[in-house]
């Protein structure tokens, strides 16, 4: 399975991010390209943050089962995968080039990633390996959304 901890996978993601521009349109979902870029940048910042997230109640009930399903194979995330409320982007306009640059810089930081206590608000505590898979699947999901 692909992981952001693999330098070749990071290079592939960066190459795909670089194909996005102001004319990129979503194949599904409600976000425009700016919102998607900002959402992905904020998601990467959230994954790197060394603060303790609290797992939501529904996640304590179903998170581990859902994580197992998501990580069982190479299958991309479903189009209808819900967004964590705090990572929903309301602004519709912004600097696309700057968001791409910030997202790429965060992808590159996976070369030195260390956040062993990370707790996903739905899935719960993730291992280093699970973080690598999830980070790839999340980026891949949104790049596919914009045909990149």
- Domain coordinates of the chain in residue numbers? 7-145
**Reported confidence tier of residue 49, pLDDT bands at 50, 70, 90:** confident
Does the predicted model carry a pTM greater than 0.85? Answer: yes
pLDDT at 83: 87
pLDDT at 125: 93
Distance (Å) of CA 53 to CA 48, 60, 106, 117, 126 = 12, 13, 20, 9, 12
Label residue 29 left, alpha or beta by phi (over 0 means left) and psi (-120 to 50 means alpha). Answer: left
18 Cβ contact list (under 8 Å, min separation 6): 100, 104
The DSSP 8-state label assigned to residue 74 in this structure reads S
| C-alpha span between 133 and 123 (Å, rounded) | 13
């Amino acid at each position: 399975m692909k992981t952001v901890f693999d330098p070749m996978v990071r290079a592939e993601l960066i190459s795909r991010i670089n194909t996005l521009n102001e004319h990129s349109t979503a194949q599904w979902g409600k976000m425009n390209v700016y919102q998607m870029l900002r959402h992905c940048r904020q998601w990467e910042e959230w994954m790197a943050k060394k603060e303790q997230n609290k797992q939501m109640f529904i996640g304590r009930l179903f998170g581990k089962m859902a994580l197992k399903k998501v990580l069982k194979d190479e299958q991309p995330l479903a189009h209808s995968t819900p967004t964590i409320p705090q990572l929903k982007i309301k602004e519709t306009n912004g600097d696309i080039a700057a968001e791409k640059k910030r997202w790429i810089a965060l992808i590159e930081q996976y070369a030195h990633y260390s956040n062993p206590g990370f707790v996903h608000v739905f899935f719960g505590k993730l291992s280093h390996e699970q973080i690598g898979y999830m980070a790839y699947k999340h980026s891949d999901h949104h790049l596919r959304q914009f045909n990149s």
